[in-house]
Amino acid sequence: MGRRKLKIRRLEDMKARQAKYSKRKKGILKKAKELSMLCDVEVVLLLSSPSGKPTLFVGQDPNGLYSILQKVSNMPFVEREERRAYTIEMLKKFYVNWESEFDPLSLPRNKNIDTLKLYEDELQEVKDKLTKKRKILRDWKNPKNVEDLNQIKFMEDHLIASLNGLRNRKNQLAMEQQSRERYLEGTENLEI
């Protein structure tokens, strides 16, 4: 005769919950150890008891936690987010059958992920600006290839402003040169 299937639901009694946790914790730690040995994989298991006491299991490699964290931190942001979304989706499917009050979307998001996303957005903005500046530079190098009337008007205005600036500078230098020549003429006349 087989065992009847237990309906999985949250235990209301704290003592019963703690006892069930202790019993099942031993089983899951045993399974994690077996998985680590049989499949030669790095396993890190972090459990938090109902009373809040954490339990950490690291497989055969004593540096397993460090190496797993290193791999995750080196993983591209997009891939981490895809894995996170996949895990949340799996948790949703898993807990739908259990009539649980668990909401995977309520899992705390890592602030570093949000910060990284901001940096990635900022990097994308800088890349976009760089692309625009390169296009403008190409337009200046080959004005015959420009087909946008607004761009040609912008280039014309810029050239006119630059030309006016050059004229002003030329006039200023000419005046300074005349001034020096007059000064030198005045000092030569004094010597005679």
Domain boundaries, the chain: 11-74, 76-106, 108-145, 146-192
What topology is assigned to 11-74 in CATH? SRF-like (3.40.1810)
Higher pLDDT, 39 or 8: 39
Which amino acid is located at 50 in the chain? P
* Mean pLDDT score of the chain: 81
| pLDDT tens by residue, 82-128 | 888 888 887 777 666 555 555 555 555 555 667 777 778 888 888 88
pTM to 2 decimal places? 0.41
Task: Give the per-residue pLDDT at 108.
Answer: 55
Backbone phi, psi, residue 2, to 5°: -85, 165
Q: What is the pLDDT of residue 175?
A: 94
Rounded to whole angstroms, the Cα distance separating 157 from 121 reads 33
Residue 88 neighbours by CB distance under 10 Å: 14
H-type alpha helices, the chain: 14-39, 64-74, 77-96, 111-141, 149-191
Long-range contact set of residues 60-64: C-beta below 8 Å, sequence gap at least 24: 60/36
Burial 127-162, CB ≥16 within 10 A → b, else e: eeeeeeeeeeeebeeeeeebeeeeeeeebeeeeeee
Please give the residue that has the higher pLDDT: either 137 or 100: 137
**What is the spatial distance between Cα 65 and Cα 44, in angstroms, rounded to a whole number?**
6
Tens-place pLDDT, residues 54-93: 888 888 777 777 888 888 788 888 888 888 888 888 777 7
Q: How far is CA 58 from CA 28, 40, 46, 50, 91, in A?
A: 13, 13, 9, 21, 23
Return phi, psi of residue 145, to 5°.
-85, -5
Task: At 157, list the tokens.
Answer: 């205005």
Q: How confident is the model at residue 147 (pLDDT cuts 50, 70, 90)?
A: confident
Model confidence band, residue 167 (pLDDT cutoffs 50, 70, 90):
very high
pLDDT of residue 96: 64
What is the predicted pLDDT for the residue at 31?
92
Asked if pLDDT for residue 36 goes beyond 60, the answer is yes
